[in-house]
Chain A
Amino acid sequence: MTTKLWQWGVLIAGLTVACMVLSIAPAHAHKVIVFAWVEGDTIHTESKFSAGKLVQDGKIAVFDPQGNKLLEGVTDDRGRFSFPIPQKSDLKIELQAGMGHGNQWLVRAQEIDDGADSRAPTPKQTPSEAGHTGAAPARPTEASATADCLDAQTVRQIVTLALEKKLAPIEARLVEQRWRFQDIIGGIGYIVGIFGVVAYMKSRK
Chain B
Amino acid sequence: MHISEGYLSGPVLLSGAALTAIGTAVGLKRLDYDQIAQGGILASAFFVASLVHVPIGPSNAHLIMNGIIGLLLGWAAFPVILVALLLQAVFFQFGGITTLGVNGLIMAGPAVIVAYVFGPWIGRSGWVGTAAAFASGAGAIALAAIVMAASLFFTDEKFMAVAGTAIVVHLPIMGIEGVITAFCVGFLKKVKPEMLSG
| Residues of chain A whose beta carbon lies under 8 Å from any beta carbon of chain B | 4, 7-8, 11-12, 15-16, 19-20, 22-23, 26-32, 49, 51, 53, 94, 96, 98-104, 179, 183-184, 186-188, 190-192, 194-196, 198-199, 202-203
Whether B50 pairs with A195 at a CB distance below 8 angstroms is no
Interface assignment of B117: CB less than 8 Å from any CB of chain A: no
Interface assignment of B197: CB less than 8 Å from any CB of chain A: no
Residues of A within 8 A of B43 (CB): 191, 194-195
Which residues of chain B in 91-123 are interfacial with respect to chain A, using CB atoms and an 8 Å cutoff?
91-94
Interface assignment of B87: CB less than 8 Å from any CB of chain A: yes
Task: Give CA–CA (A23, B46) in the complex, Å.
Answer: 12
| Residues of chain B whose beta carbon lies under 8 Å from any beta carbon of chain A | 1-8, 31, 33, 36-37, 39-41, 43-45, 47-53, 55, 60-62, 83-84, 87-88, 91-94, 148, 151-152, 157, 162, 165-166, 169, 187, 191-192
Task: Give CA–CA (A26, B50) in the complex, Å.
Answer: 12
Whether A199 pairs with B157 at a CB distance below 8 angstroms is no
B140 CB → nearest A CB, Å: 18
Whether A7 pairs with B191 at a CB distance below 8 angstroms is yes
Task: Give CA–CA (A190, B83) in the complex, Å.
Answer: 9
> Which of A19, A27, A28, A102 touches B7 (beta carbons < 8 Å)?
A102
Of all chain B residues, which has the CB nearest A192? Answer: B40
Whether A29 pairs with B50 at a CB distance below 8 angstroms is yes
> Which of B45, B53, B91 touches A15 (beta carbons < 8 Å)?
B45
A168 CB → nearest B CB, Å: 23
Whether B44 pairs with A198 at a CB distance below 8 angstroms is no
Whether A30 pairs with B94 at a CB distance below 8 angstroms is yes
Residues of B within 8 A of A190 (CB): 87
A29 CB → nearest B CB, Å: 4
The 7 closest A-B pairs by CB, nearest first: A195-B40, A100-B3, A23-B51, A29-B62, A187-B87, A183-B91, A199-B36
Whether B84 pairs with A191 at a CB distance below 8 angstroms is yes
Task: Give CA–CA (A22, B51) in the complex, Å.
Answer: 8
Task: Give CA–CA (A161, B14) in the complex, Å.
Answer: 47
Task: Give CA–CA (A186, B50) in the complex, Å.
Answer: 15
Overall SS of chain B's interface: helix
Whether B6 pairs with A102 at a CB distance below 8 angstroms is yes
Known contacts A51-B53, A194-B83; A179/B162 CB under 8 A: no
Whether A51 pairs with B60 at a CB distance below 8 angstroms is yes
Task: Give CA–CA (A105, B191) in the complex, Å.
Answer: 51
> Which of B2, B84, B192 touches A100 (beta carbons < 8 Å)?
B2
Known contacts A102-B6, A179-B92; A203/B191 CB under 8 A: no
Task: Give CA–CA (A104, B88) in the complex, Å.
Answer: 19
> Which of B1, B33, B48 touches A23 (beta carbons < 8 Å)?
B48
B155 CB → nearest A CB, Å: 9
Whether A4 pairs with B2 at a CB distance below 8 angstroms is no
Of all chain A residues, which has the CB nearest B145? Answer: A99
B26 CB → nearest A CB, Å: 15
6 contacts between A and B (CB under 8 A): A27-B51, A30-B94, A99-B165, A100-B3, A191-B87, A192-B44
Task: Known A-B contacts: A11-B191, A100-B8, A101-B4. Give 18 more (CB < 8 A).
Answer: A11-B187, A19-B51, A22-B51, A26-B53, A29-B52, A29-B62, A29-B92, A31-B4, A98-B157, A98-B165, A99-B148, A100-B2, A102-B6, A183-B91, A184-B51, A188-B44, A191-B44, A194-B43
A192 CB → nearest B CB, Å: 6
Residues of A within 8 A of B31 (CB): 198, 202
Task: Give CA–CA (A98, B163) in the complex, Å.
Answer: 12
